[in-house]
Amino acid sequence: MANKEHVALLKQGTARWNEWRAQNPRVDVNLRGASLSNARLKRADLYNANLSGANLSKAHLRGANLYEANLSDANLSGANLTGVNLYKADLRKANLCEAMLVTATLVDTDLRGADLTGCYVYGVSAWNLKLKSAKQQNLNITWRRAAERNESRITVDNLEVAQFIYLLLNNQKIRQVVDTITSKTVLILGRFTDDRKAVLDALREELRKRNYLPILFDFAVPAKRDITETVSLLARMARFVVADITDAKSIPQELAVIVPDLPSVPVQPLLLEGSAEYGMFEHFKRYPWVLETYRYPSSERLIAERVIGPAENYARSVRGATPQMDARPTGSRSRTQRARR
């Protein structure tokens, strides 16, 4: 139970409370289970205080210091936590529904099992949070009075990505970075053994000359699930994908997660002459964005233009021209382009 003297002091106001704390810095503050609903606690010094199970619903906690405070199981629904310091605070299973967390500091904060539904998280500093089993729904990344300023109400369901989403929507430079990545990244997949490294080197060099950003995945063994998911994410960011299906190992798995769902990302297959396509590759040929396989005669004689040209041409046909891109025209055309003639 809470220390009645501590509760009484706190209810006298922030000035009196902070004065007492300054005079008694080593006293362990016990406000466990205290009823502080609607309390005016602006800039209160509650460092390391035990507020476990306390009712702080709609309290005025703006700018308060809750560094390392124990707020587990506390009711903070609708509380004004604007600018509060929650560094290393314990908020396990706390109720934060519709709380105002605008510009709050959430660093190493424990939010496991907490309910964050409907929180206002504009300007939150969120680093290294513990969020296992936390309920994160309808997190508002705009100010509470956004509607009054004719701003759209934007919500996300993940506290740690809220800041990124806001920047993406409201910062032109961030959007330009994303646009640059998606317009120039080329994902290269394959199993490039020592005798075929020249293929990789020649292709990467040509891509760099043309101002692309090549990303290589060279698999020696079939990829694990986390690697496959990473490849899928990178493919969604890529201008096009180049896949060497010679001596395929993990390539079938990678193409299975890339091809069906990404019609705007052309895939240019490569195959060493004299090698056969793996059995299931025929399945992918029905997708128009899987281009005609380029068969190169040797590692030293791969003609990069026959790889880059068709892929870039298809990308342009579905996405439009790419700024500052030097994709030289070639005599090779994709099946879709030939069909248009």
**Along the 341 residues of the chain, how does pLDDT read in single tens digits?**
999 999 999 999 999 999 999 999 999 999 999 999 999 999 999 999 999 999 999 998 999 999 999 999 999 999 999 999 999 999 999 999 999 999 999 999 999 999 999 999 998 999 999 999 999 999 998 876 554 555 667 888 888 888 778 777 777 766 676 776 678 889 988 876 776 677 777 788 888 888 888 888 765 544 455 677 788 888 888 999 999 888 777 788 889 988 998 999 999 999 888 888 888 888 998 999 999 999 988 766 677 778 888 998 998 888 766 544 444 333 333 343 433 33
Instruction: Specify the pTM.
Output: 0.59
What lies within 8 Å, CB to CB, of 201 at 6+ separation is none
CA angle, corner 47, sides to 90 and 87, nearest 5?
A: 50
Instruction: Spell out the domains of the chain, with CATH numbers in brackets.
Output: 1-170 (2.160.20.80), 176-340 (3.40.50.450)
Distance separating alpha carbons of residues 78 and 60, to the nearest angstrom: 10
